[in-house]
């Protein structure tokens, strides 16, 4: 497969060229943290980061998406008809995504692209996206990707993998899509012997730097009702304030809510991210709420990720080990500890 090397400057120039073929999204440092932004050709993306604060989830699955629009105007022949809203589904490249966040998309695919359902917009966006992953030289202290089937240089799901060797970036295509992308990027040929050695060294040392290990091997064997009624939920949930941080930041949380918004006679049907941590998530039209207290809601989040998903798909947990929920939970509820409790219960 095609390999190319770039200096940082050359790489920024290459991204400028690639803008003729793709909408290019890359990490930019704004204030205290990095976020994915569309590269408009000015400024330079910054590839020296742990991970972006929010994952790249929104680039395929926007926080708010206009699905349809409609009119309530009786004089309009199209009255009360839902029409698909215009969306930009043109090719895009997510450059600088971490392997855990790519894994997030793979897990999310289960929900949006399976034998029963194919979500048209998620699928189209996903299929028109090139994932140019950057391996993690220095995984964060909260990362535990290697405990959940990933790794800092894991190539699964990536179209291109990049090694950040400090002065130079080495990129290698992993799929045909990636090959086309890299061919368009032009630039130098592959790495020399010396660089290859450095790449191998990075791959090895990065795995060793991961300090968090989480055991999940027993989850599948546990009895679901026993875990559900385990005594530790109350204590686990005490500090939770039921915000949207853990689920909105999570690259694998997929839940949404559908809302109609009408202004005058014109209406939109929107799909917004939702969260099982919000009381509204399960509120019935009747006023009854089957998950009316926070202990139930906290339990749902962990049971979904670490038990229901495990049982249903038989392919590990619904978590890529990115560590965001651990880092940003304002009251320090730590999925690593909860997984440990569940696994050893």
Partner 1 sequence: MERYTEKIRERARDLLESGKVDVFIGYSKGSVPMMNRPALIREPREVNKLLWDNHCALNLCNYLTKRTEKIGIIANGCNSRNIVTHILENQIKREQLYIVGIPCEGMVDHRAVARAVGQRDILAVEGLGEEFLVKGKDFEERFTKQTFLQRNCVTCRHHNPVIYDEMIGEPVEEGELPNGYADVEAIEGMSSDKKWAFFAQLISRCIRCYACRNACPLCYCPTCFVDESKPQWVGKSSDPTDTMTFHLLRAYHCAGRCTDCGACERVCPVGISMRQFTRKLNKDGETFFSWEAGLTLEKRPPLDTYRPDDYNDFIK
Q: Which stretches of the chain bind partner 1, using CB under 8 A?
A: 31-33, 50, 53-54, 63-64, 138, 140-142, 235, 238-239, 241-245, 248-249, 257, 259, 261, 270, 272, 278-280, 326-334, 336-337
Nearest to 46 by CA among 55, 36, 54, 56: 36
Looking at 24, 136, 185, 253, which residue binds ligand SF4 (CB under 6 A)? 253
Contact at 8 Å (CB) between 325 and 249?
A: yes
Residue list 274-313, contact with ligand SF4 (CB under 6 A): 275-277, 301, 304-305
Contact at 8 Å (CB) between 244 and 257?
A: no
Looking at 270, 322, 338, 342, which residue binds ligand SF4 (CB under 6 A)? 322
Pick 141 or 149: Cβ nearer partner 1: 141
Residue 126 interface partner, choices ligand SF4, partner 1, none, CB cut-off 5-8 Å depending on type: none
User: How are the residues of the chain apportioned to helix, strand and coil, as percentages rounded to the nearest 5?
Assistant: 35, 20, 45
Residue 69 interface partner, choices ligand SF4, partner 1, none, CB cut-off 5-8 Å depending on type: none
Least distance (Å) from ligand SF4 to the CB of residue 322? 4
Pick 252 or 343: Cβ nearer ligand SF4: 252
Burial category of 223 from C-beta neighbours within 10 Å (exposed 0-12, middle 13-18, buried 19 and up): exposed
Least distance (Å) from partner 1 to the CB of residue 60? 16
Question: How remote is the C-alpha of 90 from its chain's centroid?
Answer: 20
Pick 85 or 243: Cβ nearer ligand SF4: 243
Site residue total, ligand SF4 (CB under 6 A): 32
Does 320 sit near ligand SF4 (CB under 6 A)? yes
Pick 172 or 294: Cβ nearer ligand SF4: 294
Least distance (Å) from partner 1 to the CB of residue 166? 16
Does 323 sit near ligand SF4 (CB under 6 A)? yes
Using the structure block, give the residue that is written with the tokens 């030289």. Answer: 137
Pick 173 or 333: Cβ nearer partner 1: 333
Alpha helices by DSSP H, listed for 156-223, are: 176-185, 193-209
Nearest to 327 by CA among 62, 16, 32: 32
What backbone phi and psi angles, to 5 degrees, belong to 298?
Answer: -65, -45
Strands 92-97 and 23-30: parallel
Least distance (Å) from ligand SF4 to the CB of residue 7? 33
Does 241 sit near ligand SF4 (CB under 6 A)? yes
Looking at 246, 270, 338, 339, which residue binds ligand SF4 (CB under 6 A)? 246
Strands 129-134 and 160-164: parallel
Contact at 8 Å (CB) between 167 and 159?
A: no
Least distance (Å) from partner 1 to the CB of residue 174? 28
CA atoms within 13 A on the CB side of 200: 7
Pick 104 or 178: Cβ nearer ligand SF4: 104
Contact at 8 Å (CB) between 143 and 210?
A: yes
Nearest to 133 by CA among 58, 54, 63, 47: 47
Which residues face 27 on adjacent strands?
36
Residues that bind ligand SF4 (CB under 6 A): 240-243, 245-247, 249-255, 275-277, 301, 304-305, 319-325, 329-331, 333, 335
């Amino acid at each position: 497969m095609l390999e190319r090397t770039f200096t940082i400057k050359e790489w920024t120039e290459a991204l400028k060229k690639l803008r003729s073929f793709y909408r290019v999204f890359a990490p930019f440092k704004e204030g205290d943290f990095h976020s994915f932004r569309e590269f408009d050709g000015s400024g330079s993306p910054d590839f020296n980061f742990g991970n972006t604060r929010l994952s790249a989830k929104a680039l395929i699955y926007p926080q708010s998406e206009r699905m349809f629009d409609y009119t309530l105007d009786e004089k309009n022949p199209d009255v009360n008809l839902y029409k698909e809203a215009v969306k930009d589904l043109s090719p895009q490249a997510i450059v600088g995504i971490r392997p855990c966040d790519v894994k997030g998309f793979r897990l999310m695919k289960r929900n949006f692209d399976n034998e029963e359902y194919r979500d048209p917009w998620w699928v189209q966006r996903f299929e028109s996206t090139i994932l140019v992953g950057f391996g993690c030289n220095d995984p964060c202290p909260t990362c535990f990707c290697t405990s959940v089937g990933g790794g800092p240089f894991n190539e699964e799901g990536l179209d291109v993998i990049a090694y950040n060797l400090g002065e130079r970036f080495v990129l290698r295509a992993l799929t045909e899509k990636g090959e086309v992308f890299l061919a368009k990027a032009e630039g130098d040929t592959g790495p020399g012997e010396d660089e290859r050695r450095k790449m191998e060294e990075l791959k090895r040392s990065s795995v060793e730097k991961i300090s968090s290990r989480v055991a999940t091997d027993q989850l599948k064997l546990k009895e679901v009702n026993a875990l559900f009624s385990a005594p530790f939920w109350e204590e686990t949930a005490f500090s939770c304030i039921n915000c949207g941080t853990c689920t909105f930041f999570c690259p694998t949380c997929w839940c949404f809510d559908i809302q109609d918004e009408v202004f005058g006679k014109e209406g939109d049907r929107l799909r917004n991210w939702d969260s099982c941590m919000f009381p509204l998530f399960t509120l019935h039209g009747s006023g009854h709420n089957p998950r009316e207290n926070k202990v139930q809601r906290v339990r749902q989040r962990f049971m979904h990720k670490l038990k229901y998903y495990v049982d249903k798909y038989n392919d590990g947990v619904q978590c890529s080990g990115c560590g965001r929920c651990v880092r940003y939970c304002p009251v320090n509820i730590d999925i690593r500890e909860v997984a440990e409790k569940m696994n050893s219960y």
